[in-house]
Chain A
Amino acid sequence: MKYAGLLVMPTGFFLVIAALVLFADPGRRGAFVACGLLVEVLGLAVAVRGHMLNRGVARR
């Protein structure tokens, strides 16, 4: 699960790059960049959740 989250994060980065290349309008570009960041935060949340699932192992 941690790896899944970490793999989602670069996807958000590529969304941000796509926003730079595809849109000249600052509004659309900003919205796409925000979406890319949201995807990255979701990926990080999934990775943290993966760490939480191992919480039992950490409690020793």
Chain B
Amino acid sequence: MRVLLAIGCNDYKEADPLNGAELDAQRIFDALLSEKSSWYDGDRSRLLLSPTLDEVRAVLREMLFRGPKIETFTFFFAGHGGVNAGSFYMWVKDTMRVAQSVSALALADLFRGINEAAPRQTNIIIDACESGGLVDDLGVLLKPELLGDVGTPSLTLIATSGRDQSAGETATGGLGTNALLDCIEGSELINDTCSALDLVDIGRRVAAKLQPQGQNPVVWGLNLYGPPSFCRNLRFSSDGLERMRDFVVNWSTHTDDLVAANKDALWSTYLSVSGDWSQKQFQRFVWSISQAPNLPSDQIASVIERLAAAFLQRAAQCEDPYRSVLVAAILAASLLPHVGNPAAHAVAERLSDEATKALLHANDQLISSLSSNRFALLSTKHGGLADLYFLPLRVSQVLGWVAAGPYVAQTEEQRKQSVDQMRVLLPLILEHYEGSLVALNDSQASAWCICLAQASEVGLMDEGERLAGLLFYSLATSGGKVARNDLSAEDALGYLLAKAANDYSEAAELIARPMETITVLLKAARLFDLEEVYDEALWRLDGVSFSAYMPSELAHFNEKIMHGGKNFIWTIGHDVFRTKDFVATWPSMVPAPSTVVSKALSVLSALTLPDRQPWFLLDADSSDERSLQGEH
């Protein structure tokens, strides 16, 4: 059973009256219980207009604890709000300004009631009118522990604030409520693939719509138990996606178990995504979901998609625009083993689309930033000498991501935009960061691989040649002494000191052996006719071993450790004296993606995991791949 409580409070004994709060509550109530899309139980749902606190409590008591157990509980409040002693209060008719704790509805009390009634999903929408910076306060006040231990990953909250009444209200109601209703009533497309919508999905859209108006709504929480259930999706189309609809209807309780088992990690990861985070920890967390045993691929995909909705909303609050890219990429790439399943394939396609959108946005931001400040890639907060190590890694990552755009793009329009960005950013990086284009760590190899392949594909031949030349030069001058791809940040200084002194005798453990950076450069040599140039300097790398790992199939390409497959090893001065010696012995068993989506996910895996290369991009037979790209 789904139940809605909508409260709108215009009249106050100790506060200025409002004009639109009752109307907003009425409109939400009508939309969610309309004949066209009735999604909530009409008998048990209630609309309260300017109620007293006792009336609200009586209705809550009746609604939450009498009658059949509630599956979905949705609470809407429009009215004044207040913060006192670290608590958020919703003001009702008889609220006393000096006694909010006993005369207003405390959010913490509401949480406690919900926690006790334990509906499977809870949606809370607060439109705190004329509340100044109150919504910002609410963002700070909201903590997982506020909810207690039970069922925390089953709640979503959206809070909007009409700070400036004249700007925040239209003739038809509050901006926040209007944006919400657009989504509920289907005039704003969220998706057309699920029969029901999640409040997190709607929250992301509402936030995107309100931000240009100067409002920054709080969208908080995870809602991972059960299928999406905030409202009926009026844009749902069953065309060709029957399986998706089936799994929504037949939601397995196993996914709830999976969510419950990862509850603590869910919250800590969710909270870290918008600030200081560890990409490795995020990756480990996503693996724990995507590699859950005994769950079919379609259900794993649905949990990953739900996670993406919540985590991308959170990541959008991070000042680094590439955070959203990484979040979407890691989540999308985790579906690589599941894309044989049509429902999982559809989710992977949508997440690749999300990753591309985030990437296009981040690249735009970076172009703008680099154009106004050539030092834009230096760290503002944690730079200094540390950037001698991290800047070259950052520069290669940026090039890898920029070049990945056209491979990951899901539409021709996206591909075109990505290529345009590549044409701007690669020359810009070469102009401003030539000195930082060095092979420093073997984890950079995949970025070089993707960037050189893409440069060749889009005809940036001079730029590609210059990049490959700079990297080979840096390798030759260090004698092929590149740091191992799992070098800890603590050991980075030791490696830099050895490199500066050109004495690696005390740093043998820090060096990649064999390395894949040389393999990438030698393999890419033919793209830019650099074979003879490389051959001239190959003696400088005498004795250096290099390798290529070929997985048995790309379905394993996102696994932490890939089993099977084969490591191919060469050594300069033993079996390779010229580039052609290497080319002649390049293996024929290079697995290639069979679909656009698996190609996108493989590229995303290579960029998010630092120890694997998408060799198919550089392979001699890549014309097949390029035709695949042309299928967009």
Q: Do A and B bind each other?
A: no
Residues of B within 8 A of A (CB): none
Task: Please list the residues of chain A having a beta carbon within 8 angstroms of any beta carbon in chain B.
Answer: none
